[in-house]
Amino acid sequence: MASESDQDVASAADVDEERRERRPVKKKKPKPPVPTDEREIDAPDKLTISMLGFMGIVTLALWVFARAACNYHPPRETRRPRTVKLEELARDPKDAALEMQQRLVQLDFEGAAQLAMGDAAAEVAKAKADCAVKAQDCAMKRKTLEKSVESTAALLERSATDATVRVTTVKPGGPVTTLDKLQRQGPIWKVVSRGPDDPNFRPKPPDTPTLQLLAAPPATAIPSPPHDDE
């Protein structure tokens, strides 16, 4: 007679066999045929193309938001340009002549008067009086010239107290070139007179102190006394 343990093993084997028979048999998918030509390869497929399009749209949207955030300046965060003092603008005769003519051509008479004296100051006052006669036309012209005028300057001669500068201004009516005479007034330079350009202008020779400074021999080093070696 078979023992009880053998019967239990046999019954368990029968149960396992019944379970295996009840399980559905998975059908193996047929392998895709091997393409023989590049035209038969489905690459890129629709899923790849849709993902690439989605990533492109997201990248473009993020770029638009980032650009808008960088260019947006609230009124409280907008930095205003630094106010340049008159001492900085007129520290050099060339800069002073350029700034004075730029202000005068743009009809900024108050600013031009700060850099003028003598005949130049009288010219600024006359231009201001002529502008006051036609205030409306002058105001419209001032707005037009604010961003359409450019000036360049060239230093022709300079001494300790005097200087001559050629200033050329390009404006809608055509270029204007003048010869400006300047004088030092404390820490700044001011335009004394303005005249038409002279192509044959020749700078004056340096004054006597400048010639003496240029003719002075260079300083020579004094040799040190010899040291006795012990």
Q: What is the CATH number of the domain that holds 190?
A: 3.10.450
The answer to whether position 41 is within a domain reads no
- With contact defined as beta carbons under 8 Å apart, do 188 and 96 qualify? yes
Least confident of 180-184, 189-193, 199-203, 223-227: 223-227
Domain membership of residue 147 as a residue range: 93-199
Q: Is residue 63 part of a domain?
A: no
Contact (Cβ atoms closer than 8 angstroms) between residue 124 and residue 104: yes
Give 92-106 pLDDT, tens digit per residue: 999 999 999 999 988
Distance CA 89, CA 188 (A): 8
Q: Mind listing the pLDDT tens digit for each residue in 144-178?
A: 887 788 889 999 998 888 999 999 988 887 888 99
CB 161 within 8 A of CB 210: no
* Element holding 193 (H helix, E strand): strand 188-196
Question: What are the tokens at 222?
Answer: 């004094």
* Residue 37 resides in a domain: no
Residue 97: inside a domain: yes
- How many Å apart are CA 211 and CA 208, to the nearest integer? 5
- Distance in angstroms (rounded) separating the CA atoms of residues 179 and 164: 7
- What tens digit of pLDDT does each residue of 9-45 get? 566 666 666 666 666 666 777 777 777 777 777 777 7
Query: Would residue 218 count as lying in a domain?
Result: no
Number of domains in the chain: 1
Nearest C-alpha neighbor of 164 from the set 182, 151, 152, 177: 182
Residue at 35 is within a domain = no
**SS3 state of residue 156:** strand
- In this structure, is residue 195 part of a structural domain? yes
Task: Give the model's pLDDT for residue 32.
Answer: 75
Higher per-residue confidence, 230 vs 125: 125
